[in-house]
Structure 1
Amino acid sequence: MISRVTKDKKTGTFYYTIEVGTKENRKRKVKKNFKTKREAKAALDLAIAELQKELANDKYKKDLFLGDYLDYWLKAYAKSNTAPNTYKGYERIILVHLKPGLGHIKLHELSPVQLQNYYLNKLDTLSAQSIKHLHRLLSKALNDAVDWEFVSKNVVPRAKPPKPKKFRPTFYSKEELDRLLEAAKSSTVYYPIIYSAGHTGARLGELRALQWTDINFDNRRMAITKTAYEDENFNVQIRDLTKGGKDRTIVIGKKLMNFLKSHYNRYQELKKSLGDGFNANDLVFFNSNGHYLNPQELHRAYKSAVKRAGLKDSRFHDTRHSHASILLEKNVHPKIVSERLGHSKIGITMDLYSHAIPSLQEQAVELFDEEDDNEQ
């Protein structure tokens, strides 16, 4: 860097000059019309300090590794802009997959070919769908890197992750779901939540957070307003917002209402014998100690019930899919099913349960056939 203060012989004023770079690639900055040399020198000192700060920042950006940037992105964006479970998922993807495989590459040197080879190697241990999740997270993080001027462009979209097979959730028919619920009866602790999941299609976190004040026995309504999740220390936290982004109230059938009334009466007897400290959170579904149900233990109990019922393998979340599929096959309007599930858009419902929609189309064309029959 070369700098100087010079007097303009024509005007009698002073100006400063700063030159940066090599002889072949030199940049020059000139600032004129200072009345005194002292003013020009003071302005020059400020300009040099600012320029040095910019140069240091540029060097920092050039030396920044992708792994360090992803750590920064988690703190600067993900921590305050995503749901807790989403953040945990992002953090795990970065720690377990992206940093070990790509973290050593400097952010500004990351190339599509490096990503392509990374995806290819990952196919040995991950599904195409999981690699697509890595790709999406990385693309989002680097879009933010462009916005924050860490890099000039995002190279991630130029890499092509493997195409995943379309997700096919497990659907049970009404008869199969009834068999599952019957088999789940042997688990006193987990039967109530499994039964309720089959009859409502609610998510696990929503059911775990459900309190008795959320159930209106007179009007047969269930208010779903919050979800339960585990933080990084495996402590249960409650978030007052469902995954779909809004609260919802669903109508519950007479069978489920009678079941919940019986469940509530048993709960009152337990509370009377064990004291008011039992189930202090007034949960609808609780373990033998009156605390939140453990998801891992619930999944084990669910899998055992599936096996006893002689059904094809499924996850607890598939009770939600079965509930929706059964409703659609019974010609319940997709909009109603979408609202019941808490989907943000009806398109999500239509895409997930397209297998159950043909019955609606058949019903539609039958109307035209009936008209033709009447004309004859």
Structure 2
Amino acid sequence: MAGHIKQDKKTKKWLFTIEAGKDAKGNRKRRIRKGFKNKTEAKNAMAIAIAEFQKEEVHSEDKQETITVGDFLDYWLKSYAETNTVHNTFKAYERIIRVHLKPALGNIKINELKVRDVQQYYSKKVRTENTVENNEGEGRLSKQTVLHHHRVLNKALNDALDWEFVDKNVAKRAKPPRPDKAKFTTYTPEELNLLLKSASGSVLYFPIITAAAHTGARVGELRALTWGDIDFNNRKIFITKSAYDKKGEGVKIKNAPKNGQNRAISMGKRLVELFQRHKDNYEKKKALLGPTFNPNDLVFYNTKGNYLDVRDLARAYKRAVKEVHLSDSRFHDLRHSHATILLQQNVHPKVVSERLGHTKVSITLDLYSHVNPLLQDSAAKAFDDAF
């Protein structure tokens, strides 16, 4: 079963077509709905229509009593996830279902799935300190990973409930594992200076490493940054999109950051000066190599003027860390260092949250709870100073 969305050239309205092969008489099974105001409205309506279409087929073939969890999850991927999530999210869902959920729960009839089945699945999957890896190097999974499995299963079974495949969502009553606190490495301002000095030897990667340290932006947001996103007069960086890699198709751009909300990040004097020097160098190179160089007007680009490769960036970052004998860290940890330093400097958590692009300030406070003792000491001293 396949669905297609397009815009009517005459009416400018959007429509979808669902093709479901042929019936027993050889007639095409097709449904068309028109008159949607935008593509998103048409996409959402198509997902519901596909679900209803397949539900009808299940009823017509009297399969309701035999459809398994695995059958439904496959159908859910096609009818919902494939058309309503970005590529990387869909691939993550597909892998969780194919590698984990289907082998463990797939053969159970969906209307016979019990809370205890789901709970047992979580218990078996969670890695413990005494877990021994098998011959293929595959041990049990982290609590955070199993929580992701729960979210996928819970969403799928919620849709199964809405589409009347089941009478209740048993995943809602199961208790997924509570993840341990995220572990990451943060650097002091002195250590960051050492790292940036080490990275300065790389003309290609120094600018993006410095920008990450000074803004806390995600790697996908930085890879997608164009010169039009930099406002030198007002010292702002506008985060409006994110780059990701799609297998077989190269780099794709999602026209929104991770949380779907655009944001502006104020730049300090040092970062503004870096960007000005970097742009001067870029314009000289562009004049020398011609208009075909860096056609996307990227701020950070490789030697051919294309998107930076995340693996090459990670290797360059690791080299810079190792050269100055700092504790091992990932490129993403620059984001954590940025937030930690700001909080230690008594910058309001709401401001830090906005710079990072968190949807709620509570996420920031929970993630960087290791800073709280220092903030408590500062608060006590501030109260004393008031007297």
Q: Name which of structure 1's ranges 125-134 and 77-86 shifts more when overlaid on structure 2.
A: 77-86
Matched, 1:78 2:81: yes
What residue in structure 2 maps to residue 90 of structure 1? 93
Correspondence for 1:217 among 226, 232, 243: 232
- Asked which structure has the greater CA Rg, the reply is 1
- Distance across 2 between alignment mates of 1:211 and 1:235: 18
Matched, 1:99 2:102: yes
CA distance in 2, matches of 1:216, 1:257: 9
| 1:371 Cα offset (Å) | 4.1
CA distance in 1, matches of 2:249, 2:201: 28
Residue in structure 2 matched with residue 309 of structure 1 by the alignment: 324
Report the Cα distance in structure 1 between the residues aligned to 2:106 and 2:170, rounded to whole angstroms: 15
Aligned to 2:15: none
Amino acid in the other structure paired with 1:272: A
Q: How many residues align?
A: 320
- On the 8 A contact 2:205/2:316 being kept in 1, the answer is yes
Q: Using the alignment, how far apart are the partners of 2:347 and 2:72 within structure 1?
A: 48
1:246, distance to aligned residue in structure 2 (A): 1.4
More divergent stretch after superposition (211-220 vs 111-120): 111-120
Cα distance in 1 for partners of 2:177, 2:351 equals 35
Give SS of 1:280's match: coil
Contact map agreement 1:331 1:359 (CA 8 A) in 2: no
| Residue 276 (structure 1) shift | 0.9
SS at match of 1:90: helix
- Contact preservation (8 Å) 1:132, 1:161: yes
- Per-residue Cα deviation, 1:339-358 (whole angstroms, up to 9, x for no partner): 11111111111111122234
Is 2:311 the partner of 1:296? yes
Aligned partners of 2:230, 2:292: CA distance in 1, in Å?
Answer: 21
Contact 2:186–2:336 (CA under 8 A) maintained in structure 1: yes
DSSP-derived class of the 1:223 partner: strand
Taking a change above 3 Å as real, the CA distance of residues 109 and 351 of structure 1, as seen in their structure-2 partners, is same
Query: Which position in structure 2 is the counterpart of 1:26?
Result: none
Amino acid at match of 2:88: N
Give the TM-score normalised by structure 1: 0.79
Is 1:156 paired with 2:171?
yes
In structure 1, stretches of 5+ residues that fail to align are: 1-52
Specify the SS of the correspondent of 2:314. Answer: helix
Choose the corresponding residue for 1:136, options 143, 151, 155. Answer: 151
Letter of the aligned partner of 1:101 in structure 2?
Answer: A
CA distance in 2, matches of 1:98, 1:213: 44
Taking only aligned residues, the RMSD between alpha carbons, in angstroms, comes to 2.1
Give the whole-Å Cα distance in 1 for the aligned partners of 2:316 and 2:62: 56
Give 3-state SS (helix, strand or coil) of 1:59's partner.
coil
Q: Displacement of 1:147 after TM fit?
A: 1.1
Kindly provide the amino acid, as one letter, of the partner of residue 92 in structure 2.
Answer: G
Aligned partner of 1:4 in structure 2 is none
Q: Secondary structure at the match of 1:366?
A: helix
TM-score norm. by structure 2 comes to 0.77
1:113 Cα offset (Å) = 3.3
Distance 2:76 2:217 in 1: 32
SS at 1:258 equivalent: helix
Quote the residue 1:243 is aligned against: 258
1:56 and 2:71 matched: no
Counterpart in 1 of 2:42?
Answer: none
2:301·2:307 contact (CA, 8 Å) conserved in 1?
A: yes
| Percentage identity across paired residues of the two chains | 54
Q: Which of residues 211, 214, 217 in structure 2 aligns to 1:199?
A: 214
SS in 1 for 2:186: coil
Match of 1:115 in 2: 118
In the superposition, relative to structure 1, how do residues 306 and 260 fare at CA in structure 2: closer, same or farther (>3 Å)? same
The partner residue of 1:184 within 181, 186, 199 is 199
Contact 1:245–1:344, Cα closer than 8 Å, also in 2:
no
1:232 is displaced (CA, Å) by 4.4
How has the CA–CA distance of structure 1 residues 54 and 100 changed in structure 2, closer, same or farther, with 3 Å as cutoff? closer
Alpha-carbon distance change, 310 to 63 in structure 1, aligned in 2, over 3 angstroms: same
Q: 1:330 aligns with which of 345, 350, 361?
A: 345
Could you give the per-residue CA deviations for residues 190-217 of structure 1, whole angstroms, max 9, x where no partner exists? 2211111001101111101100111112
Query: Is the contact made by 1:66 and 1:106 (CA closer than 8 Å) also made in structure 2?
Result: yes
Q: Counterpart amino acid of 1:271?
A: K
Query: 1:226 matched to which residue of 2?
Result: 241
Report the Cα offset of residue 73 of structure 1. 1.4
For the residues of structure 1 that align with 2:58 and 2:194, how far apart are their CA atoms? 69
Q: Which amino acid aligns with 1:305?
A: A
- Checking the alignment, whether the CA contact within 8 Å between 1:88 and 1:232 is kept in structure 2 is no
Q: 1:150 to 1:258 in 2, by over 3 A?
A: same
**Letter in structure 2 aligned against 1:96:** V
User: Structure 2 stretches of 5 or more lacking a match?
Assistant: 1-55, 128-138
Distance in structure 1 (CA, Å) of the matches to 2:310 and 2:296: 18
Report if the CA contact (8 A) 2:58-2:64 is conserved.
no
Residues 208 and 371 from structure 1, CA distance in 2 versus in 1: closer, same or farther, beyond 3 angstroms? closer
Distance change >3 Å, CA 65–CA 284, structure 1 → 2: same
Question: How far, CA to CA, are the matches of 2:86 and 2:279 in structure 1?
Answer: 31
Q: Which moved more, 1:293-302 or 1:202-211?
A: 293-302
Residue 29 of structure 2 is matched in structure 1 by none
Per mean C-alpha deviation after superposition, the further-off stretch among 73-82 and 321-330 is 73-82
Which residue of 347, 350, 358 maps to 2:365?
350
SS in 1 for 2:62: helix
Q: For residues 212 and 236 of structure 1, what CA distance do their matches in structure 2 show?
A: 18
1:262 aligned onto 2:277 = yes
CA 1:148–1:370 in structure 2 vs 1: closer, same or farther (change >3 Å)? same
